[in-house]
């Protein structure tokens, strides 16, 4: 089946590595045909294709057709079904993006059985025909972790495939990296109903444009303690590493910068703590109780309640220790004196 709208190479480079991706791309191409023929969005996809054709040679952001909507799908991995959706923000002034940010965003979500969601966003136009090679040049990306308790983001740039760069972040996370972003991601894995979002905000950028974007975006939105970037972005970040004697010169490659940040964390271990995401989670009683119940040598919420009940009935600490099967009388004593487990009611 020949695709009518989508560029297969750009889709395979930028979209999440789903099972049966080629089949999903074909189905999504068919859905875009329905959107194009819809009474409200009539001709939208054709207009995006025309914008791609007539804007070649310009910066990516200048090529985007100003239309405030998201188009995409959610893949339900439990039910093995795909739900397609158009989010027409232009219809609702309270939801509308600023004119300078308006574009058609492709959204692709995966929903897991435990309620966790993982979404990928990017300008839809770069997935369509007539765009050119969307994997060329530098990419500016944003990763976000959202739970009921908190939301924090990390911004970065790469010249390589952005999903390969994401895989590298995940590998560092799994192997015990103490970088703030990796620690936040690792600690969030113990939760349910978490949403992970990865968005391409600019593509086909030059090095200078990407570095300028990163410096501005990190300073404005994602520098700790408000976000998960440990150092400033762009040139300011390179100067930061040099000023702290991590590097012997300012101008280094992005790969050298990654190693330098790891060295900065090694020399300053407390800079990665506290994790702001987890700090917020600890304020949530449900999270606190789940962690307490999962740890060895700690009391479960039921044990704490039983200790208090038995003490109220006049049992002594030794008898309570045997009955509740805790480590020692000190654990019982600390509960009864209010030194521990104050949030268990």
pLDDT in tens, 52-109: 999 999 999 999 999 999 999 999 987 778 999 999 999 888 888 888 899 999 999 9
Output the pLDDT for position 256.
94
Output the pLDDT for position 177.
87
Output the pLDDT for position 284.
58
* Residue 89 burial class via C-beta count within 10 angstroms: exposed 0-12, middle 13-18, buried 19 and up: middle
Residues 6+ apart with CB under 8 A from 20: none
Per the prediction, the chain carries an average pLDDT of 88
pTM: 0.78
Stretches in the chain below the pLDDT threshold 70: 1, 270-297, 343-345
Output the pLDDT for position 266.
87
Output the pLDDT for position 125.
98
Output the pLDDT for position 207.
96
Output the pLDDT for position 186.
86
Do the beta carbons of residue 43 and residue 68 sit within 8 Å? no
Q: Characterise 183 by phi-psi region: left (phi > 0), alpha (psi -120 to 50), beta (else).
A: alpha
Pairing between strand 69-76 and 104-111? Answer: parallel
Output the pLDDT for position 276.
52
Output the pLDDT for position 70.
95
Output the pLDDT for position 189.
82
Cα–Cα–Cα angle for 250, 205, 217, rounded to 5 degrees: 65
């Amino acid at each position: 089946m020949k695709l009518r709208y989508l560029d297969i190479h750009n889709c395979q480079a930028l979209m999440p590595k789903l099972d049966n991706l080629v089949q999903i791309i074909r189905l999504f191409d068919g859905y875009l045909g329905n959107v194009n023929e819809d009474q409200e969005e009539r001709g939208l996809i054709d207009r995006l294709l025309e914008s791609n054709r007539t804007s070649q040679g310009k910066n990516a952001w200048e090529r985007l057709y100003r239309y405030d909507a998201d188009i995409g799908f959610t893949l339900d991995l439990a039910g093995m079904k795909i739900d397609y959706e158009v989010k027409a923000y232009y219809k609702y002034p309270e939801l509308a993006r600023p004119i300078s940010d308006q574009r058609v965003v492709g959204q692709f979500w995966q929903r897991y059985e435990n309620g966790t969601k993982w979404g990928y966003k990017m300008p839809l136009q770069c997935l369509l025909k007539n765009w050119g090679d969307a994997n060329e040049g530098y990419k500016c990306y944003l990763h976000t972790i959202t739970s009921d308790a908190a939301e924090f983001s990390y911004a970065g740039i790469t010249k390589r495939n952005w999903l390969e760069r994401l895989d590298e972040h995940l590998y560092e996370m799994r192997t015990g990296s103490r970088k703030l972003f990796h620690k936040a991601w690792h600690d969030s894995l113990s939760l349910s109903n978490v949403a992970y979002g990865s968005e391409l905000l600019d593509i086909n950028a030059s090095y200078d444009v990407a570095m300028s974007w990163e410096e501005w975006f990190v300073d404005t939105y994602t520098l700790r303690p408000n976000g998960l970037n440990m150092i400033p972005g762009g040139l300011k970040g390179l100067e930061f590493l040099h000023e702290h004697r991590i590097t012997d010169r300012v101008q280094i490659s992005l790969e050298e910068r990654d190693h330098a940040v790891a060295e900065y964390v090694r020399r300053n271990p407390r800079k990665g703590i506290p994790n702001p995401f987890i700090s917020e989670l600890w304020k949530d009683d449900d999270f606190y109780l789940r962690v307490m119940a999962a740890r060895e040598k700690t009391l479960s919420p039921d044990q704490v309640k039983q200790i208090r009940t038995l003490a109220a009935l006049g049992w002594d600490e030794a008898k309570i220790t045997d009955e509740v099967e805790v480590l020692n009388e000190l654990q019982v004593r600390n509960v009864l004196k209010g030194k521990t487990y104050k949030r268990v009611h």
